[in-house]
Amino acid sequence: MLFCFRLLLALLTMLSVTAPLSPATATATATEVGKLTLLPGIAAPVNLHDHVLWLEDRTNDLTLNDVLNLPIDDFTPSTGVPSFGYTGDSVWYRLQLSVPQGLTQSLQLEIQPNYMNFIDAYLIRQGTSRHLWQSHMGDHVSAGLRPTRGSQHVDRFPPLEPGDYTLFIRTKSNSTQLLIAKLWPTDQLISSLTLRDGAMSIYFGVILMLGVVYTVLGSLVRDRAIATYGVCVILIGTLASAVNGLVLAVIQPEWPYANDLIVGVTNVVGSAASIFLWFYILDLGKQNVVITRIAKVYCGLSVACALTVTTDFYALYGTYIVPLHAALLTTLSLIVAYRIIRAPRQWLLWVYLVVIVIPIGGAVLLQLTHAGLIAATPFRLGLHQFTLFFHMCAMGILMGFRLSQIEKERMNMLRVTAATTSLVGEQRKLISMLSHEFRTPLAVIQRSSEMLLLRLRDARSDVTDRLQRIQDQARKLSRLVDIFLNKDGIDDGDFALARELVPVNRLLTDFVADTSRADAEITLECVGTEQLETYVDATLVGLAITNLIETARRYAQGSPIHITVRRNGEWLVEIDIPCHGKDLNSQEILRISDALFRQDIGPTAMQNALGLHISQRIVDAHGGSIKLRDKGTDGIELCLLLPCEDSTGSFDI
């Protein structure tokens, strides 16, 4: 917890120290900026952007002659990397050059970032109004017209005679506006570009391979977090490679919008994918539905902005959506910190803090820099590269452990599946054995009752009635054994129904006569059902009603159960069984409801309410339903609905 507080304090301190700087609030004046002196024998690259004055052209109409006629005080000095956020305005840069001894060395002018649409450079000797050298660069310039085909915007700087010069640079882009300009010795630039292009190729190859592997493995193991992370890796890797000149160097597009399309789409879609990844990691969707919907709307809006990447409207995305994305990443990071404070012993949260949250700091700084909310510095522009490298290495290790754990869980699942299959086989054997063992004594009971009826035909009626009842009950029990102790029925989960057309009143009257006892009395009231018939399996429907009545008896404490039968609409008959008593509370009602309406009831509920679950299955098989009706202070009412028809009509099976 103490470490977490210190980390947040350090982040806030760093932001408070570095945030307040921006070109628009610089206090130095143009006259205080000294000239840049170029002497022969330049051995290291010279940063030109540290010495420029800048002017933002909001009209986009200023020409070179217009800028030459402007007083120098109209330009603002820059003390670092000049940046202006996402804007479609043109920016003019002015740099005073002093060449006291002339300059014949082979030099190259490199201007970054390479996703700027147009870069126009003009070199003018002081005292003249005509440029002696110009260059036309930018990713909207076709590859065939670019001064140098490569990953960066580079052009040969001309040899200069002794004197004073002014270098004007005009940039225009629909993306973030910043300027990094360097004057390189040719041999050093070649070495630098070779090293950068080689590193970029290796980086893109590795990142693409990792992204594809994560995506495929996540899809195979059905882990959305891993699959989404793989997509994020591919998009972030493509974006970083495109920003470093992959498109310009490899594709060398003649279509002027190719670089904008790839950079913009990967940036927009990658931002939305990162938010989805966070929701899978933090499992926010199960905790707050409203937040989940808001995040989905935001991601949809963000992805829709991909339609603007080749237009000037993309600047609106960078101005409003990019800071919002940075705020969301910061908020999600704070959620992780909050969870660590609440549960400091959860090691996975600490892993997220080190592997994901800390590297996000570099990404947030870069986004705020690009949005123009904080000043651009080499540290803020370059920090993200190192944090991203650390994140990739750490996530590779973490994903290795994650996939190893998934593999162990899969092996455990296979062992459990094999054990379950074996148990199911044993269960089927047991069911077959029980079915045989039950049928044998039932057959004996049935044959014995038949023989007694034949021998005692002249006995009293109460004796013959009792023997007939024994025979009927044995026949029903044999029927239930055929249904519930049949392995084929267990495999397909269906009941083999022996339906017959039965009058509703007779069905219920026979049921009450067979079920009612002196200590468990059942009364029946039929309301307007004299002409109704139903097409059912009488044995199974009787079992379903018996289970409902036994549930009511549990709370009735010996009181009679009053069944009411009435018509419900044109095609349904309703059988109402009241259920009330002092032991019937909210927990008991919930248990009854779970047994009736849940498809996957747990072992405890199965033990306590298996009869209700079976009743629901029986009624469903007949095309009916069971409802639980709340009667307020009078308890509840179990309502069984069965299809029926008037006996004067036709029955449609």
Tens digits of per-residue pLDDT, 443-473? Answer: 777 777 777 777 777 777 777 777 777 877 7
Q: What is the DSSP string of 568-625?
A: ETTTEEEEEEEE--TT--HHHHHHHHHHHH-SS--HHHHHHHHHHHHHHHHHHHTT-E
Residue 12: pLDDT above 50?
Answer: no
The pLDDT assigned to 610 comes to 60
Listed range (262-271, 279-288, 566-575) with the worst mean pLDDT: 279-288
The pLDDT assigned to 157 comes to 94
Residue 278 contacts residue 332 (beta carbons within 8 Å): yes
Average pLDDT over residues 524-532: 88
Average pLDDT over residues 602-622: 69
Residue 91 contacts residue 63 (beta carbons within 8 Å): no
Average pLDDT over residues 104-130: 91
Confidence category of residue 229, pLDDT binned at 50, 70, 90? confident
Helix 258-282 vs helix 224-243: crossing angle, to nearest 10: 150
Counted residue by residue, the chain has a size of: 653
The pLDDT assigned to 11 comes to 36
pTM: 0.62
Listed range (55-59, 443-447, 544-548, 623-627) with the worst mean pLDDT: 443-447
Residue 606: pLDDT above 50?
Answer: no
Tens digits of per-residue pLDDT, 534-575? Answer: 988 888 888 888 888 888 888 887 788 889 999 888 889 999
Residue 14 contacts residue 383 (beta carbons within 8 Å): no
Helix, strand, coil content of the chain in percent (nearest 5): 55, 20, 25
The pLDDT assigned to 117 comes to 93
The pLDDT assigned to 5 comes to 36
- Percentage of residues in the chain with pLDDT exceeding 70? 87
The pLDDT assigned to 496 comes to 67
The pLDDT assigned to 31 comes to 45
Average pLDDT over residues 386-405: 80
The pLDDT assigned to 19 comes to 32
3-state secondary structure of 564: strand
Residue 285 contacts residue 279 (beta carbons within 8 Å): yes
The pLDDT assigned to 602 comes to 52
Beta bridge partners of 496: none
Residue 24: pLDDT above 60?
Answer: no
Confidence category of residue 391, pLDDT binned at 50, 70, 90? confident
The pLDDT assigned to 236 comes to 85
The pLDDT assigned to 173 comes to 92
Contacts of 390-397 with C-beta under 8 Å, sequence gap 24+, read 390/359, 391/355, 391/356, 391/359, 392/207, 392/210, 392/233, 394/354, 394/355, 395/229, 395/355, 395/356, 396/210
Tracing tokens 């000043």 back to the chain, one arrives at 375
